[in-house]
Every structure is written in C-alpha cells, then in structure tokens.
Amino acid sequence: MAFDYDLIVLQRLLVAHFDLDELKTLCFDVHVDFDELAGETKSAKARELVKHCYRHGLLDKLHEAGQRQRPGADWSAVIGQENDEELPDQWAEPLQRLYGLARAFNRNRHQPYSDRIWLFINSSKPFQNENQ
C-alpha cells in the first residue's frame, strides 16, 4: 500500500528525533550507505536520506524503521492520504501508442538526414520547385 509522504515533515522529524549516529543506524536499517549521502550536518544528512529514499522507492521502509526506533514520535504527520490511484482503462491504449512513438523518435533521431534535407539545411537558398 503506497502513501503520499510529506518529505519536509519527514526530514524535520528525523532531525528532531535522531542524532547523527542514530541516523547512521537508520540508514543501515533501510540499506542506505550513510557515507554516500551528501552533507556534513545532521539536517543535511537527513535531507539527503529522505531524497535518496524518495528516488529509490524506500520511503515506506524509512517510515517503518523510524517508527520502530522512535515509537513516541508523531509519525502520522508524515503520511498524507493513501495513494492507490490507477489510470483509467481508456488511457492504456493511447499511452502505449505514445510510448511507442517516443521510443521510435528516440531510436530514429540519431539517423542521418537524407541528402535533400541536408542540402536544404546547409544552403543559403531555400528549395525551389524543381519544375520551375
């Protein structure tokens, strides 16, 4: 079950209830390398931990580990509403087509131009009708 998290509240909660050494333990519990997180201060490390967990889909694990280590903290302020929204079925086919077009575009954008287009781009005169 996925929730929307308030990342700012989560970072402030970590800063308020954990010291730097306890943040290292929290990182260990969530399988994040503390030394790889940017920043030197506690608030910077907490911010980078939240950002890392957000990017890697670990916010649920971070939230659970934080609750285990600090059950007295108000963790309910971190969680927004439940987010189980799925796209409507009628969007599936158009999104698949759009995805296919994007893949084709990315695959073809590195193809060389045809000679005719290349000449047009590099000429000082635009194309003239060949019948004239």
39-84 tens-digit pLDDT: 999 999 999 999 999 998 899 999 999 999 999 998 888 886 554 5
Question: How many domains, in total, are found in the chain?
Answer: 2
Evaluate whether residue 132 is within a structural domain.
Answer: no
Evaluate whether residue 130 is within a structural domain.
Answer: no
**Is the same domain home to 20 and 63?**
yes
Evaluate whether residue 131 is within a structural domain.
Answer: no
**Is the same domain home to 62 and 105?**
no
Evaluate whether residue 60 is within a structural domain.
Answer: yes
In this model, does residue 92 exceed pLDDT 80?
no
Q: Residue 13 contacts by C-beta under 8 Å, 6 or more apart in sequence?
A: 66, 73, 74, 75, 77, 78
Q: Are 52 and 58 in contact (CB under 8 A)?
A: yes
Nearest CA among 4, 6, 10 for reference residue 70? 10
Evaluate whether residue 128 is within a structural domain.
Answer: no
Q: Are 126 and 120 in contact (CB under 8 A)?
A: yes
Evaluate whether residue 26 is within a structural domain.
Answer: yes
pTM: 0.60
Evaluate whether residue 129 is within a structural domain.
Answer: no
Helix 20-30 vs helix 59-69: angle between axes, to the nearest 10 degrees? 130
Amino acid at 104: A
Instruction: Label residues 107-121 b or e (16+ Cβ within 10 Å = b).
Output: eeeeeeeeeeeeeee
Residue 107 belongs to domain spanning: 89-122
Q: What gap in Å lies between CA 93 and CA 99, rounded to an integer? A: 10
10-30 tens-digit pLDDT: 999 999 999 999 999 999 999
Q: What gap in Å lies between CA 18 and CA 23, rounded to an integer? A: 6
**Is the same domain home to 55 and 96?**
no
